[in-house]
Amino acid sequence: MSEFKAADFYQIDDLFTDEERMARDSVREWVSAEFMPVIEEHNRAGTFPADLIPGLGEMGVLGASLEGYDCAGMSPVAYGLILQELERGDSGLRSFVSVQGSLCMYPIHTYGTEEQRQKYLPKMAAGELIGCFGLTEADFGSDPGGMITRAVDDGDSYVLNGSKFWITNGCIADVAIVWAKLDGDIRGFLVDKGTPGFSTNTIKNKFSLRASVTSELVFEDCRIPKANLLPNVSGLKGPLGCLSQARYGIAFGTVGAAMAVYDEALRYAQNRIQFDRPIARFQLVQNKLVWMVNEITKGQMLAWRLGRLKETGRLHHSHVSLAKRNNCWMALECCRLARDILGANGITDEYQTMRHMCNLESVITYEGTHDIHALIVGREITGENAIE
């Protein structure tokens, strides 16, 4: 596979600090050396390359934006850029890191007790413990507040009943962050693997995010100690706070997927000969490549600005929605154009475009669908709630 050349039409590199560029470049090299050689076989087999998890831990990308507890404490932009590089490899790889860091380590760090932080975070940062985040249920996706999973207070424990669906990392997780109603309020619970009454099932036959584990979590009279409640948050703002962190990462990550397919389509267009000339010489092909670099440049600027707003404490969740929505759509459109440029070759997995395209059908749906994010931004600018 030829070496990846990252699009930077507007010299956006200049906007990053040395630390941010270094973090990005080291992950870029790791993805090229360790991940690209194995992704095709894992995508075919529908498996996650779990043997690479310790390497992710060593690079400091797990919970990279968190402070203390052996976490790297990276700046928001450096964190975003490493997710961009991971998703340049595959959205499944970025999903693994987002779930571990933003959806599992973040709530333990932010809503947990000191004992919970000490117990879980250093091992999670090292990749020795894997987490999953259980919010969605089969009948409650965009409307998680309707969840039916319940916790009941019973002496020195809580008893959980219900199930969660579409849960990334579920079957490989050592600990699940489970959102359930306790006396009508949504609360977060830590459920360790092996707890009696807790089981998982793999969701098979996916066309999308094949190199990522997606699962069902089932709780049948699952008794957990009271010490496993995340005490410092209640209500939907608990899970939504985590999702805001993860959506921030997706806004950067999807730029990486778009950069990957643009790079592939550009090279292909320069080398593929039809009518005795490279197809890059045809105006219609150039128009597609220009659309891609145009939208990638806008997506890079959105992500960069998002990061600077976050680092100066001015980030609103609707800012994240706008960037998540735009960049998922932009990356998916880039895949469709790239696949067109690749012609018939584009439908095989000898090229990465179709894999990215299939992955992005999940990414545009999970963590708030494209339309739900439109409604979040719409609510912010009009003051009118059209979601419910």
Ligand X SMILES: Cc1cc2nc3c(=O)[nH]c(=O)nc-3n(C[C@H](O)[C@H](O)[C@H](O)COP(=O)(O)OP(=O)(O)OC[C@H]3O[C@@H](n4cnc5c(N)ncnc54)[C@H](O)[C@@H]3O)c2cc1C
- Which CB sits closer to ligand X, 208 or 353? 208
- Which CB sits closer to ligand X, 61 or 296? 61
- Which CB sits closer to ligand X, 49 or 307? 49
Give just the sign of the alpha carbon dihedral 110, 112, 114, 116: negative
Residue 380 CB, nearest approach to ligand X (Å) = 15
Q: Identify whether 367 is a catalytic site residue.
A: yes
Residue 172 CB, nearest approach to ligand X (Å) = 12
Cα–Cα distances (Å) from 368 to 200, 244, 295, 304, in that order, read 24, 10, 22, 21
8 A C-beta contact, residue 48 and residue 217: no
Residue 114 CB, nearest approach to ligand X (Å) = 26
Residue 241 CB, nearest approach to ligand X (Å) = 14
Question: What's the CA gap between 15 and 13, in Å, rounded?
Answer: 5
Residue ranges binding ligand X (CB under 6 A): 99, 133-136, 141-142, 166-168, 209, 214, 362, 365-367, 369, 371-372, 375, 387
Q: Which residue is nearest to ligand X (CB)?
A: 141
Angle at CA of residue 268, ends 31 and 91, nearest 5°: 35
Cβ neighbours of residue 332 closer than 8 Å, sequence gap 6 or more: 357, 360, 361, 364
Residue written as token pair 């932080």: 117
Residue 92 CB, nearest approach to ligand X (Å) = 9
The residue from 367, 380, 384, 388 that is catalytic is 367
DSSP string, 239-307: HHHHHHHHHHHHHHHHHHHHHHHHHHHHHHHHH-EETTEEGGGSHHHHHHHHHHHHHHHHHHHHHHHHH
- Which CB sits closer to ligand X, 60 or 170? 170
- Which CB sits closer to ligand X, 372 or 377? 372
What positions carry a catalytic annotation? Answer: 367
